[in-house]
Amino acid sequence: MAKRHVLLALVLATFLVPLWASQTVQVLQDLRPEVKKKLPAGYSAEGLTYSFQNQGLSISATPLTPLAREAYYAKKGLKDPFADATPAAGYIFFLIRIENRQKTDMLYFSPGAVMFGDMNPIDEVAMYQLFYRLPEANAKLDAAGRSFFLRDLHLPPGLWIERLMVFQYDDPYPTKKINLALTSILLGGEGLDVDFPFIAKFKREKVE
């Protein structure tokens, strides 16, 4: 009887160890604007880019593939601090472009108020925690500081800025439609919220 219990335990261990050693994650395969026949006034969608424009400002959001992100950093002459991240990490990157089209008023924008679904972007503190113990930590943090929206923005009239935002998706039950809400934009004493709905496609993958 004892030998039978030992044999059963060995058989169970053979099947259970691989389950403990791996996990299933949702990996983003595609992300693009939800295209409707008639978009709200001021909104437009072209390719992967969603845009909003009025007399005072223009703002756009483009999800970046790994190749597009590589091209972005090559253009800036910087090394991508997330170059070693795997798809299973769940990072989702956006290129955000904001232009203040006013002639007199400052534009104020708070990245910490942005939401992608129920996710906030990785902020300055979280970015530091990601990299400070890694090799080349100072170079990674410097590149992140030069390329991401990490602090509140005060954009003078007539100028534009283009930087990244990164979110981390860890929901085991993927959502098909995810809204990117750029809120708390202040211009000329008035607040503005811009909503960009995106359609996401995920694939279940096992990772060790």
**Whole-angstrom distance, CA of residue 196 vs CA of residue 91:** 18
Q: Residue 101: its pLDDT value, please?
A: 96
Q: Residue 22: its pLDDT value, please?
A: 61
Neighbours of 197 (CB within 10 A): 16
Domains (ranges, CATH) in the chain? 24-207 (2.60.120)
Cα-based distances in Å from 76 to 110, 143, 179: 23, 10, 28
Name the stretches of the chain with pLDDT < 70.
1-22, 208
Q: Quick: pLDDT tens for 81-108.
A: 999 998 888 999 999 999 999 999 999 9
Q: Residue 6: its pLDDT value, please?
A: 44
Q: Residue 14: its pLDDT value, please?
A: 44
**Whole-angstrom distance, CA of residue 161 vs CA of residue 155:** 8
Q: Residue 55: its pLDDT value, please?
A: 92
Q: Residue 35: its pLDDT value, please?
A: 87
pTM exceeds 0.75: yes
The answer to whether residues 155 and 98 touch, using CB atoms and an 8 Å cutoff, is: yes
Q: Residue 206: its pLDDT value, please?
A: 80
**Whole-angstrom distance, CA of residue 206 vs CA of residue 116:** 25
Q: Residue 208: its pLDDT value, please?
A: 67
Looking at the chain, the number of H-run helices and the number of E-run strands are 4, 11
